[in-house]
Chains A and B, each alone.
Chain A
Amino acid sequence: DVVLTQTPPTLSATIGQSVSISCRSSQSLLHSNGNTYLHWLLQRPGQSPQLLIYLVSRLESGVPNRFSGSGSGTDFTLKISGVEAEDLGVYYCVQGTHAPYTFGAGTKLELK
């Protein structure tokens, strides 16, 4: 199975601070069809996971543009440009290129 390594496991931030989360894959996530099925989710406390970014860098409808994704191959990054209180929760990267689909261990974003 593809292993996704997320760092850091915990992130402390102040409101307005910009932060980044890394997701490294044990193998390339470039599919033979040319797509890279690497996505980012946010799970707020008490809520279901929410899709933020799909296909590395595409912003899901309704998601604020302070969220951005980048990367290729095996290295990917989620950036939040100016953390807001509603951004607190656990962030996951997830890959859908290779079956079985797998998730990173999560990064908990908390207020400093």
Chain B
Amino acid sequence: EVQLQESGPGLVKPSQSLSLTCSVTGYSITSNYWGWIRKFPGNKMEWMGYISYSGSTSYNPSLKSRISITRDTSKNQFFLQLNSVTTEDTATYYCARGDLAYWGQGTLVTVSS
């Protein structure tokens, strides 16, 4: 069974970096695409970006140069880094397989001083 699990700090200070890990079991991240999606307070969902089976990446231009998605294939994990966060980055962050068939449980990240 494919399972994804996000982990990382639940509280980040403004101007600092947000770093999350997605651990995948039951499926190799060297196959398919793997992405990060966030849900803001309310219902708005935003696709942030993905990393492909080959390691190439694609990001939402709205995040400009603040975002980086990397991976560690030996641990079957991929990572999100979002720099220079503001309170507007407060959201529940999900990792998901690129076809959206599998999602992590989500992790709430609050940006606050």
Residues of chain A at the chain B interface (Cβ within 8 Å) = 1, 39, 41, 48-51, 54, 60, 90, 92, 94, 99-103, 105-106, 108
A48-B94, A48-B105 known; A102 and B100 CB under 8 Å? no
Q: Which residues of A contact B47 (CB under 8 A)?
A: 94, 100-103
A-B pairs, 4 with minimum CB distance: A106-B43, A103-B45, A48-B103, A101-B47
Tally of A-B Cβ pairs under 8 angstroms: 45
Report the minimum CB–CB distance from B103 to chain A (whole Å): 4
Residues of chain B at the chain A interface (Cβ within 8 Å) = 43-47, 58-62, 94, 96, 99-101, 103-106
Contact check, B45 vs A92: say whether CB atoms are below 8 A apart: yes
Q: Which residues of A contact B94 (CB under 8 A)?
A: 48-49
Report the minimum CB–CB distance from A73 to chain B (whole Å): 21
Q: Which residues of A contact B100 (CB under 8 A)?
A: 39, 41, 49, 51, 54, 94
A99-B58, A100-B60, A100-B62 known; A51 and B46 CB under 8 Å? no
Report the minimum CB–CB distance from A56 to chain B (whole Å): 14
Contact check, B43 vs A90: say whether CB atoms are below 8 A apart: yes
A92-B45, A100-B61 known; A54 and B103 CB under 8 Å? no
Report the minimum CB–CB distance from A101 to chain B (whole Å): 4
